[in-house]
């Protein structure tokens, strides 16, 4: 699975401050540490960057490149900023993201073709958030027709089914899983990715890692090819690179079966309870581990 580090992100206060004041150190530190922790890409989330987008993109790529050679995912809605990144980095970049609306597809797909880069196809249509797995499927099918019109090869596509917070929209967490179950059959030569940490937004801090890790392993069972993750979650990376096979197997087993939790360790029980939450077998509450 391709892991994309999320930590150079304008939503983080320190990073935002570093971007505004063009302070290299914090950003370079995150880049180096993310690579050391084992991610394969860095997501550079500069936000909408309405005015300063192209300059900020140029600066941040140069800043990262002084210390880190990982390929980049360019996370902004500012098309001029994306163009700057494409000129600098060419076919190695992932455009994050192209929304499934006519205007965005028509502006951005030609750039994908021209630079032969990858892109994240966000399954967010003109009607906004898809309501269930079937709407996700319909949006992706339309998107793929557009991709074919431009003669873009399907292996450049990373569909993002949109991960939402379990604390507020448990039914959408289930819908994304249901969509992934169908994904490889519907879109066999396309890839998938997601913004994993969204799933634990608003949850208690001590639960966030557990929820993120469990959900990614669940999505992985259905063939998720990639994810934008917290590069500082070493446990998550261990799970994905095969260092915690017993936990991975337990999560996969809990998805198919009722698990007898007698004799399991506390860590194992917590994973099983979290599977049940993310599958919708149990209703989410902040104290679900204690129930
Ligand atoms: N899909 C795609 N791209 C995306 C997302 C997606 N990019 C942005 C986001 N969603 C994925 N990246 C993040 C980055 C950080 C956090 C969540 C998702 C996050 N960060 C802080 C933290 O570290 O705890 C909290 C930030 C704050 O609120 O202060 O939670 O879905 N294609």
CATH number at residue 86: 3.20.20.20
Q: Is residue 196 part of a domain?
A: yes
**Cβ(192) – ligand 1 distance below 6 Å:** no
In angstroms, the CA 232 to CA 1 distance is 17
| Torsion angles phi and psi, residue 111, rounded to 5 | -70, -40
pLDDT value of position 256: 84
Burial class (CB in 10 A: 0-12, 13-18, 19+), 72: buried
Domains of the chain: total: 1
Structural domain span for residue 170? 2-232
Helix (H) or strand (E) holding 8: strand 2-9
Q: Which 8-state DSSP code applies to residue 241?
A: T
Closest-CA residue, ligand 1 atom 12, reads 6
Counting ligand 1 atoms within 8 A of each CB, the residue from 9, 77, 108, 123 with the most, and so the one to mutate, is 9
d(CA 282, CA 186): 29
Residue 9 Cβ contacting ligand 1 at under 6 Å? yes
Is there a domain that residue 52 lies in?
yes
Residue 266 makes CB contacts below 8 A (sequence gap 6+) with none
Q: For residue 271, is it within any domain?
A: no
Distance (Å) from CA 232 to ligand 1 centroid = 13
Continuous H helices in the chain:
13-20, 24-37, 53-65, 79-89, 102-115, 133-149, 170-186, 205-221, 234-240, 245-256, 266-278
Q: Which residues pair with 21 in a beta bridge?
A: none
Residue 108 exposure: Cα atoms within 13 Å on the Cβ side: 29
| 75 close to ligand 1 (CB < 6 Angstrom) | yes
The pLDDT, as a whole number, for residue 49 is 80
What is the 195 CA–ligand 1 centroid distance (Å)?
7
Q: What is the pTM of this model?
A: 0.97
Q: Is residue 188 part of a domain?
A: yes
Q: Which residues 6+ apart lie within 8 Å of 76 measured at CB? A: 44, 45, 46, 47, 48, 49, 53, 57, 82, 96
- Tens-digit pLDDT string for the chain (291 aa): 999 999 999 999 999 999 999 999 999 999 999 999 999 999 999 998 888 999 999 999 999 999 999 999 999 999 999 999 999 999 999 999 999 999 999 999 999 999 999 999 999 999 999 999 999 999 999 999 999 999 999 999 999 999 999 999 999 999 999 999 999 999 999 999 999 999 999 999 999 999 999 999 999 999 999 999 999 999 999 999 999 999 999 999 999 899 999 999 999 999 999 999 999 999 999 999 998
Mutation to probe ligand 1, out of 11, 93, 97, 122 (largest number of atoms < 8 A from CB): 11
- Is there a domain that residue 86 lies in? yes
Residue with the smallest CA separation from ligand 1 atom 29 is 12
Nearest alpha-carbon partner for 272 in 238, 245, 241, 249 = 249
Q: Which of 241, 192, 195 is nearest to 37 (CA)?
A: 241
By C-alpha distance, which of 83, 79, 81 is closest to 104?
79
Give the span between the Cα atoms of 144 and 276, in whole angstroms: 33
pLDDT at 134: 98
Report cis status (omega within 30 of 0) of the bond before 3: no
Residues listed for the chain: 291
- Tell me whether residue 248 is in a domain: no
CA–CA distance, 75 with 155 (Å, rounded to integer): 20
Atom of ligand 1 nearest to the CA of 13: 29
CA–CA dist 155, 60 (Å, integer): 27
């Amino acid at each position: 699975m391709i892991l994309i580090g999320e930590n150079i992100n304008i939503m983080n206060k320190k990073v935002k401050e570093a971007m505004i004041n063009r302070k290299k150190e914090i950003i370079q530190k995150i880049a180096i540490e993310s690579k050391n922790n084992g991610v394969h890409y860095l997501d550079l989330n500069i936000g909408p960057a309405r005015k300063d987008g192209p300059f900020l993109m140029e600066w941040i790529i140069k800043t990262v490149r002084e210390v880190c050679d990982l390929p980049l995912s360019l996370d902004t809605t500012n098309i001029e900023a994306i163009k700057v990144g494409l000129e600098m980095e060419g076919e190695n970049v992932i455009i994050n993201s192209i929304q499934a609306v006519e205007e965005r597809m028509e502006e951005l797909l030609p750039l994908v073709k021209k630079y032969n880069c990858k892109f994240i196809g966000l399954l967010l249509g003109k009607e906004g958030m898809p309501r269930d797995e079937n709407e996700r499927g319909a949006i992706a099918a339309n998107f793929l027709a557009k991709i074919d019109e431009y003669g873009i090869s399907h292996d450049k596509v990373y569909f993002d089914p949109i991960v939402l917070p379990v604390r507020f929209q448990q039914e959408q967490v289930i819908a994304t899983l249901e969509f992934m179950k169908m994904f490889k059959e519907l879109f066999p030569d396309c890839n998938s990715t997601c913004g994993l940490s969204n799933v634990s937004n608003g949850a208690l801090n001590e639960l966030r890692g557990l929820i993120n890790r469990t959900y990614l392993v669940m999505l992985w069972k259905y063939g998720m090819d990639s994810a934008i993750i917290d590069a500082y979650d070493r446990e998550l990376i261990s799970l994905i690179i095969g260092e915690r096979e017993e936990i991975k197997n337990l999560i996969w087993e809990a998805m198919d079966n009722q698990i007898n939790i007698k004799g399991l360790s506390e860590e194992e029980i917590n994973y099983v309870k979290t599977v049940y939450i993310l599958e919708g077998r149990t209703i989410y509450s902040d104290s679900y581990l204690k129930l």
